[in-house]
Amino acid sequence: MCTQYTERGMAARNAQIRIDLSASEPAYRQVATQLRTLIVEGSLRPGDLLPPVRRLALDLAVHFNTVAEAYRMLAEEGWLDVGHGRNARVIERATPKPTAAAWEAHRRKLRQVLAEMKASGVAASRIRQEFQTLIEAMKS
């Protein structure tokens, strides 16, 4: 299940969401994580409209509560304005100060992802290259 957006205001580049039903991460969190990534990378920008809940749910072949929950989660985090009967809109969000606990959790996650890449045979040079590309994309 995979969908690509061409909504007004959404940059075409990489604005793609995939749901992996075999993953242990619940579908609503997969949706939220991927939308958050698109916002952080700038593929979705403040002012951009997200697709209506029902349409995105249809595109991804998931229950509409799954998408509604993802939008709620992102609204709570300050990424979206979700009005009654209106579409969800990406809003400006002040950069928070990372807590020590959050930093530690992120560090551990990054460490594990890198170890998994290495374990599956990806060369350190390729990991470095990919990291550069990804971090550059998030620069602004």
Contacting positions for a second copy (CB under 8 A): 18, 24-26, 29, 33-34, 36-37, 39-41, 77, 95-99, 102-103, 106-122, 124, 127-128, 130-131, 134-135, 138-139
Dihedral pair phi/psi, residue 90, rounded to 5° = -70, 135
The distance from CA 87 to its chain's CA centroid, rounded to whole angstroms, is: 18
At 6 the three-state DSSP class reads coil
Amino acid making up residue 1 = M
- Residue 18 vs 54, nearer CB to a second copy: 18
Minimum distance of a second copy from residue 11's CB (angstroms): 15
Q: Do the Cβ atoms of 20 and 35 come closer than 8 Å?
A: no
Residues, the chain = 140
Cβ atoms of 33 and 42 within 8 Å: the answer is no
Q: How far is the CB of 83 from a second copy (least distance, A)?
A: 22
Q: State the nearest-atom distance from the C-beta of 133 to a second copy, in Å.
A: 9
Identify which of residues 11 and 127 has a Cβ nearer to a second copy in the complex: 127
Q: In angstroms, give the least distance from the CB of 29 to a second copy.
A: 7
Beta carbon nearer to a second copy, 61 or 110: 110
Beta strands in 1-140 (DSSP E): 2-4, 16-18, 80-82, 88-90
**Which CB atom, from 1 or from 40, has the smaller least distance to a second copy?**
40
